């Protein structure tokens, strides 16, 4: 089963004291690159959140936003005076420059981020346990989104490798023609250069065998077929994060296709190889999106 690297997950819940909303967005990334936007009350738990998301999401560029609103009748609050003064000076200066009234600066100031905050340094462990589950639920929802997108990738990437295998089958009937064409070309060239009566047939046969062995593509065909089969098997297994492995396999497929083209010495086979490379590039693009 394939999982896409991209996705979105959201979850929300109410505890005894808080309303919690968690939103997580994931994009492509070689490793887990996590950006957090947490309220001050959760700063002590940032490492726990990172470890949780690492275990569930594994890879990708992750942005998580957690919003916590305190509920209930008793809501002790504190004003961040230093931050309020910093905002006030900037807002007053701008108002004076543009000629705007300064009457409502204070009311606007009280709505600025973190100017007024709950008078609590950190969330209690029992409350954090409930919030942690909301974070985990959002991450699981994101993985479900990744799974749905992965189903589309699964069909496309299978078809790309199938096309490469089908193109490989078209090479087979051209091999005998290629050998005959090379032999005829060499015979004609030698006759034109030194004359037919001066050709040493035994030496010619030895050189022909050596030349054809260098052109032989049997091993490349076999390895290419094996790599394609292994690719299908890897895509179909139950591992979740297989993007790196598929990338390694596609590189091996690319090596065999390139060697096939280098040894082709046949216009139609080279055209087939070009089509293989086209399918290969499309598969590579999709693999970048796979977890």
Per-residue pLDDT tens digits for 214-267: 777 888 899 999 999 999 999 988 888 899 999 999 999 999 999 998 888 788
Using only C-alpha atoms, the chain has a radius of gyration, in whole angstroms, of 33
Please determine, for residue 204, whether its predicted confidence score (pLDDT) is greater than 80: no
The confidence score (pLDDT) of residue 94 equals 82
Return mean pLDDT, the chain. 85
**218, 231, 230: which is closest to 168 by C-alpha?**
218
How many Å from the N-terminal Cα to the C-terminal Cα in the chain?
11
The percentage of residues in the chain with a pLDDT greater than 70, rounded to a whole number, is: 85
**224, 219, 216, 220: which is closest to 176 by C-alpha?**
216
The confidence score (pLDDT) of residue 74 equals 46
Give pLDDT tens digits for 86-107. 888 887 788 778 877 777 777 7
Give pLDDT tens digits for 36-89. 999 888 888 999 999 999 999 999 999 999 998 876 544 556 777 777 788 888
Residues 286 and 1 sit within 8 Å (Cβ to Cβ): no
The full set of domain ranges for the chain reads: 77-119, 149-287
Q: Which residues pair with 63 in a beta bridge?
A: 25, 35
């Amino acid at each position: 089963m394939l999982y896409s690297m991209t996705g979105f997950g959201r979850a929300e819940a109410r505890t005894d004291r808080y309303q919690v909303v968690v939103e997580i967005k994931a994009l492509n990334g070689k490793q887990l690159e996590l950006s957090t936007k947490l309220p001050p009350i959760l700063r002590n738990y940032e490492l726990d959140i990172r470890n949780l998301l690492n275990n569930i999401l594994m890879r990708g560029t992750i942005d998580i936003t957690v919003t916590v609103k305190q509920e209930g009748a008793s809501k002790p609050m504190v004003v961040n005076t230093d931050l309020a003064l910093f905002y006030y000076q900037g807002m007053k200066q701008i108002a004076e420059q543009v000629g705007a009234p300064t009457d409502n600066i204070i009311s606007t100031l009280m709505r600025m981020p973190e100017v007024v905050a709950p008078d609590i340094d950190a969330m209690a462990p029992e409350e954090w346990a409930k919030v942690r589950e909301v974070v985990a639920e959002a991450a699981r929802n994101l993985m479900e989104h990744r799974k749905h997108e992965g189903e589309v990738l699964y069909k496309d990437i299978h078809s790309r490798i199938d096309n490469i295998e089908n193109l490989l089958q078209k090479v087979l009937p051209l091999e005998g023609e290629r050998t005959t064409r090379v032999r005829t070309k060499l015979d004609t060239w030698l006759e034109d250069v030194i004359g037919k009566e001066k050709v040493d047939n035994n030496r010619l046969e030895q050189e022909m065998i050596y030349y054809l062995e260098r052109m032989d593509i049997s091993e490349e065909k076999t390895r290419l077929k094996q790599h394609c089969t292994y690719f299908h098997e890897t895509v179909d297994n139950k591992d979740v994060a297989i993007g790196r492995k598929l990338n390694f396999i596609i590189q091996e497929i690319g090596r065999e296709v390139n060697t096939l083209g280098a040894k082709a010495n046949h216009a139609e086979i080279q055209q087939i190889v070009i089509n293989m490379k086209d399918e290969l590039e499309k598969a590579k693009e999709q693999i970048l999106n796979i977890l």
